[in-house]
Structure 1
């Protein structure tokens, strides 16, 4: 059964946000190379958290695809 029109858009938006988070993590990882060891470790902890959040968004996008999460039509 195809997704209702608002749902593919929601899935694309959620996946795009996840991708942007992952790209930010890559950039922060490169930035951490220029920091002191303590600061780099702290930053990489934050990056790990952001990767986890990106993974969660990808899972939400899969739920949209499987129609377990849907976007209602505007009233």
Structure 2
């Protein structure tokens, strides 16, 4: 199925935001590791919990992008 320009844009936006979340979670995990090594385990665990939430959001966005590709989610063209 060929995607319309608005749907291609939507898919790219979803994939881009998903990638941003993934990159941010990786960086936060590095920060959590440094916090833990510095003896600040409570804050390290808080940052890890944030990463888990971000990774779940990343997974949802990837799923939405797949649904756009399959034609299950459609962005209407501006009239």
| TM-score, L = length of structure 1 | 0.94
| Corresponding position: 1:59 with 2:77 | no
Among 28, 37, 41, the residue aligned to 2:41: 37
Q: Would you say how many aligned residue pairs link Structure 1 and Structure 2?
A: 75
Deviation at 1:8, TM superposition (A): 1.1
Counterpart residue number, 1:4? 4
Query: After TM superposition, where is structure 1 displaced by more than 4 Å over at least 4 residues in a row?
Result: none
Name structure 1 gaps, 5 residues minimum.
none
Name structure 2 gaps, 5 residues minimum.
none
SS state at 1:67 partner: coil
Counterpart residue number, 1:16? 16
